[in-house]
Amino acid sequence: MSHKKPAFVFPPFASDYPDDPFSNMPGYDVCFRKFLSRAAGFTDPDLKRFEVPGMTFLDDELKTQYISYIQACALISWFKSKGIVPAYSAGYSMGIYAALYQSEVISFLDGLVLIRQAFQAVNETIGKGAFGMCAIIGLNRDDIEQLIRKDKSGMEIAIQNSVCSFSISGPSTNIAKLVQTAQTEGALNTRIFNVSIPYHSSFLKDTAEDFWDFIAQMKFHSPRMPIISLIDQELLLEEEILKKEVVRNLYTALNWYETQLYLQELGVTRFVECGSGKGLVKNARFIEGDAVTMTANSFSATLGG
Amino acid sequence: MATITDITKKEVKEIVFNFFSEECEVDLSSLNENTNIIKDIDGDSLMFLELIEIFKKKYNLDIELKTIGKYAVKHPVQTIGQLIDMQLLIIEHENKLLEI
């Protein structure tokens, strides 16, 4: 009964950490610390030092991805302990690994392995190239494509979030110029992301072969609930298809806008942003439909005693 | 071009104040037209965008977001009062906003 069950959406790495984002969720901190400790023992002992405020690792792209994944997995575990599992699992950008964990396709530790391997693969692909990403809000797709065409550096729309919100990937110098131009052309908000990787663009196409060779050896299980592709909105139900999705997620543009619309057609009336931020909650204001998008914290408050 | 009546002004003010009170989780009584949206109540430009959408639907406005964006570059909005004034201009002039 999907109209009574939510879709859990797993965001990518954070850009900041708000104070007490899980205030309605007693026991979450303990759960998070357990997952953090396991991750630290397995992949990077430094992770144990994570603290908000203080040691947030926001200047370390890989650690930031680890932390977002660990937070998401702790949320999954917390909700599961309350008997709550979603009808659909959606991984926004690098949130795909948490979506796989939610659906019990991979183990927690395998998710860390995939994050590390993907990070190494993309860094090998870009080599010494300087890349980046930005957000532009307030211009439509045609406007942005026109600006990109004029620039001629091959920047690409990486993610469509709504009719007026986009993430763009490309060479970092051109990204910076694009942001300036977009402001002049009437963009209401622009932001350069703190990343050096042009995610979800063909700049990363060369990661495919080696990453596929790695992932082909891993054990994926059948998903417990459908995972939806943000690339083409297909419901991913088989192990091999999921592996291909993880690979192409790195170099293929995503469309969260169409994904959220499609999930609403499937009967989803609630979307839960499973992270510490509110980016997807805010973005949902610009997506048609009656579905409500809420933070994990707000969703937990609706669960009752 | 729409005529801005006293009723329209009152409606717009109410919507804007109630919006920020709810979104920024602050008491309505603590807000006034000099409240700085970002510095005083931790607002953001997405809230501005959402208000535009609210008014576009309510008054059936014909205006592109980028028109508002271009106007805002020349007339930056920082306070609730400035935002109300701009919303009234948007309602009054719609896509001719840049011709003011």
| pLDDT confidence bin for B49, thresholds 50/70/90 | confident
Domain-terminating residue out of A150, A165, A192: A192
- The pLDDT of B36-62, averaged and rounded, is 89
Whether the per-residue pLDDT at A139 is higher than 60: the answer is yes
In angstroms, the separation between the Cα of residue B50 and the nearest Cα of chain A is 7
B48 contacts A285? CB cut-off 8 A: no
Domain range for A145: 131-192
> Rg (Cα) of chain B, in Å, rounded?
13
- A positions 70-109 inside 8 Å of B (CB): none
A135 and A120 in a single domain? The answer is no
Check if the beta carbon of residue A93 is closer than 8 Å to that of residue A199: yes
A83 and A115 in a single domain? The answer is yes
pLDDT per residue as tens digits for the range A242-299: 999 999 999 999 999 999 999 999 999 999 999 999 899 989 988 999 999 999 999 9
Q: Give all strands of the β-sheet with A189-192 in edge-to-edge order.
A: A189-192, A131-137, A165-171, A156-162, A254-255
Quote the distance between the C-alpha of residue A123 and its chain's center: 18
Whether the per-residue pLDDT at A305 is higher than 70: the answer is no
Residues in B closer than 8 angstroms to A187, CB to CB, are 66, 69
pLDDT at A1: 41
- The pLDDT of B34-54, averaged and rounded, is 89
**A139 part of contact set with chain B, CB < 8 Å:** yes
In this structure, what CATH number is given to the domain that contains residue A6?
A: 3.40.366.10
Q: Of A290, A287, A237, A288, which is closest to residue A267 (Cα–Cα)? A: A290
CA-CA-CA-CA torsion sign (A283, A285, A286, A288) = positive
Interface-testing mutation among B45, B67, B90, with chain A (most A C-beta atoms within 10 A): B45
A214 and A85 in a single domain? The answer is yes
pLDDT at A142: 96
Q: How far apart are CA A225 and CA A237, in angstroms?
A: 8
Domain boundaries in chain B?
6-24+33-99
In angstroms, the separation between the Cα of residue B6 and the nearest Cα of chain A is 28
A137 contacts B49? CB cut-off 8 A: yes
Whether the per-residue pLDDT at B71 is higher than 60: the answer is yes
A216 and A120 in a single domain? The answer is yes
A184 and A270 in a single domain? The answer is no
pLDDT at A20: 86
DSSP E strand stretches across chain A: 7-10, 88-91, 131-137, 156-162, 165-171, 189-192, 227-228, 235-236, 254-255, 270-273, 292-295
In a domain, A197, yes or no: no
**Class of the domain covering B6-24+33-99:** mainly alpha
A26 and A158 in a single domain? The answer is no
**B70 part of contact set with chain A, CB < 8 Å:** yes
Domain-terminating residue out of A157, A172, A192: A192
A85 and A151 in a single domain? The answer is no
A86 and A167 in a single domain? The answer is no
Residues in A closer than 8 angstroms to B45, CB to CB, are 137, 188-189
Residues in B closer than 8 angstroms to A136, CB to CB, are none
Residues in A closer than 8 angstroms to B48, CB to CB, are 188
pLDDT at A2: 44
| pLDDT confidence bin for A50, thresholds 50/70/90 | very high
A137 contacts B45? CB cut-off 8 A: yes
A178 and A270 in a single domain? The answer is no
Q: Of A80, A125, A72, which is closest to residue A99 (Cα–Cα)? A: A72
In a domain, A286, yes or no: yes
| pLDDT confidence bin for A3, thresholds 50/70/90 | very low
**B63 part of contact set with chain A, CB < 8 Å:** no
| pLDDT confidence bin for A4, thresholds 50/70/90 | low
In this structure, what CATH number is given to the domain that contains residue A168?
A: 3.30.70.250
Computed over every residue of chain B, the mean pLDDT equals: 92
| The total number of structural domains that make up chain A | 2
**B49 part of contact set with chain A, CB < 8 Å:** yes
A237 and A102 in a single domain? The answer is yes
3-class SS at A110? helix
B70 contacts A185? CB cut-off 8 A: yes
pLDDT at A167: 97
Q: Of A95, A90, A6, which is closest to residue A292 (Cα–Cα)? A: A6
Interface-testing mutation among A143, A188, A282, with chain B (most B C-beta atoms within 10 A): A188
Q: How far apart are CA A24 and CA A4, in angstroms?
A: 21
A27 and A111 in a single domain? The answer is yes
Domain-terminating residue out of A146, A164, A192: A192
- The pLDDT of A90-97, averaged and rounded, is 97
pLDDT at A17: 86
Neighbours of A209 (CB within 10 A): 11
A36 and A166 in a single domain? The answer is no
